[in-house]
Chains A and B, each alone.
Chain A
Amino acid sequence: MRFDERARRATQGIHRAVEVMEMSRSTKTPQRLTRFDQYRARTSRNKRIVAIAVGVGLPLLLLVGAVSLLGSDPDPKVPLAPPSTSVSPTPVSGRSGVLFEAPFKYTLPPGWTVSEETWLFRLDPPEAPEGWVAFYVFSGFVPARSDCSDRPEQGVGRSSDAMTSWLSTHPALDATTPREVTLGGATGSWVDVQLADDWDYTCPGGPTGGLRLVTGYPDNIGKWSIDRNEKIRFYVLDLPAGDTVTIVISATDAMYFDDVIDQAAPVVESFKFPD
């Protein structure tokens, strides 16, 4: 076969695939456009927040500055402002209020970016290593059933030990033994998991070969699945207020996992949780 004929067939294949996608979503076109409306709304909201911050913060700063000049000498050993790379995530709004009840801090190396979804924080390096999928931080996650129901697994606690022990003994997973960890003042444990080779159950309409592992509680909409070949490290930390923080670091394939973990390590080690 000649190039032109092969290219023509391959082109038809792509167009057919796009047509199928369009047909399957033909009733949802207006919903696609809502993503742009959401973008507009978010941009508008951010502008309002900046305006409020400038309106309230600037006079306050001027006032504090004036008091400082008139009053005591500043301690030269204490920086007046936090490092510019130190980030305090804003509380994430969920369906019923704030998911991250205990704000925490972390430090990003230069070039890293933070994306805020409604139920998570996503952190990305400037140049992602091969196999990089995700570095997410979730709040209030619990083990999920394997029956595609998206409901919490019954009889498993919500603590770090309960979650990582459950993950390490999950019949669908090849997992490491949970190890204790202290991160930024919070204690917990971590475990590495990947789908067992003989696991072939798939939820109808769900990700190919994927298995739901954790889900939000009580009405957090977030969920996290593991796909075939994917390898994930779960850090689960117990916070004093009773909440848990789940950090997910994921590689598309186990062969890239160590590089991905190395890339994420400086940020993981920088987490600071309130006492």
Chain B
Amino acid sequence: MTWTYVEEGDGVSHGAEPAVDSSETFEEFYAREFPAIVALAYALSGSRTASEDLAQEALLAAHGDWDRVGRFERPDVWVRRVVTNLSMSMFRRRYAEAKALARLALGTAITMPALDADDAEFWAAVRSLPRRQAQVIALRYLDDRSVAEIAEILGTATGTVKKHLHDGRQAVVHRLRLEEDDR
């Protein structure tokens, strides 16, 4: 499989430099990162049936190349880049949804609860933004990433991240009729 959704600065930033003493197993990495990756997938895809599969697919990509990815200084950055792109891809999202539906047909229940109406409305507004703005806001607020970290994850400049953050926030403020920020 070709991971064409790893875009812009593919592996050029710190994520591509192997750390000498990194000895974390994939299982340890998986256990630590899975909840945050699912949360990102949920926020950006809006699908509680597909989010787990999208997270699994991102982690599967890491697993398939763990000899290399596992030696990155920050494999978590690499996986976030994959999942943010996967979750914004309509085809991937629908494929994950269809796989989840197939499992439902086999009698497996959904274990991810639905969001409250207000929370669902907020993330729907985020998803309606241009792709990069939505990714930046999800990484900033949901994943608590700094501007510098977001720039590394998305493979773009910090100035670009700041602009996407500002524009995205303003758009959501207007869409949800929130109070204007003072700053």
Q: Chain A interface (Cβ within 8 Å of chain B)?
A: 1-4, 6-22, 24-25, 29, 32-33, 35-36, 39, 117, 120, 122, 124, 126-128, 130, 132-134, 136, 150, 205-208, 210, 212, 221-225, 227
Contacts and interface: CB of A to CB of B under 8 A. Distances in A.
Given A3-B172, A21-B111, A35-B56, A14 B39 contact: yes
29 contacts: A2-B181, A3-B173, A3-B178, A6-B118, A6-B178, A7-B122, A10-B122, A10-B123, A10-B141, A12-B119, A17-B115, A18-B35, A18-B38, A18-B39, A20-B112, A36-B26, A39-B63, A122-B102, A127-B91, A128-B91, A128-B94, A133-B97, A136-B102, A205-B109, A212-B105, A222-B105, A223-B106, A223-B107, A227-B101
A32 B31 CA distance: 10
Contacts of A36: 26, 59-60, 63
Contact of B169 (A3, A18, A25, A136): A3
B181 to A, nearest CB: 6
Contacts of B116: 13
A203 B147 CA distance: 46
A21 B101 contact: no
Interface string B117-135: 0111011000000000000
Nearest to A225: B105
A225 B104 contact: yes
B113 A21 contact: yes
Contacts of B60: 35-36, 39
Contacts of B141: 7-8, 10-11
Contacts of A224: 105
Interface of B: 26-27, 30-31, 34-35, 38-39, 42-43, 48, 52, 56, 59-60, 63-64, 90-91, 94-95, 97-98, 101-102, 104-107, 109-116, 118-120, 122-123, 137, 141-142, 169, 172-173, 176, 178-179, 181
A260 B106 CA distance: 24
A17 B105 contact: no
A21 B105 CA distance: 19
A14 B119 contact: yes
A1 B106 CA distance: 43
Contacts of A208: 110
Contacts of A127: 91
A13 B111 contact: no
A18 B112 contact: yes
Nearest to A22: B35
Given A2-B178, A14-B123, A221 B106 contact: yes
Most chain-B CB neighbours within 10 Å: which of A9, A13, A225?
Answer: A13
Contacts of B106: 221-223
Contacts of A122: 98, 102
Contacts of A12: 119
Given A12-B119, A20-B112, 7 more contacts: A6-B122, A10-B115, A15-B39, A17-B42, A35-B56, A136-B102, A207-B104
A224 B173 CA distance: 42
B113 A20 contact: yes
Contacts of A3: 169, 172-173, 178, 181
Given A2-B181, A205-B107, A225-B104, A18 B42 contact: yes
A206 B109 contact: yes
Nearest to A148: B107
A223 to B, nearest CB: 5
Contacts of A223: 105-107
A13 B115 contact: yes
Closest 5 pairs (CB-CB, A-B): A13-B119, A10-B122, A207-B104, A7-B141, A24-B111
A176 to B, nearest CB: 22
B119 A1 contact: no
Contact of B111 (A6, A8, A20): A20
Nearest to A28: B111
Query: In this complex, which of B31, B34, B95, B105 has the most chain A Cβ atoms within 10 angstroms of its Cβ?
Result: B105
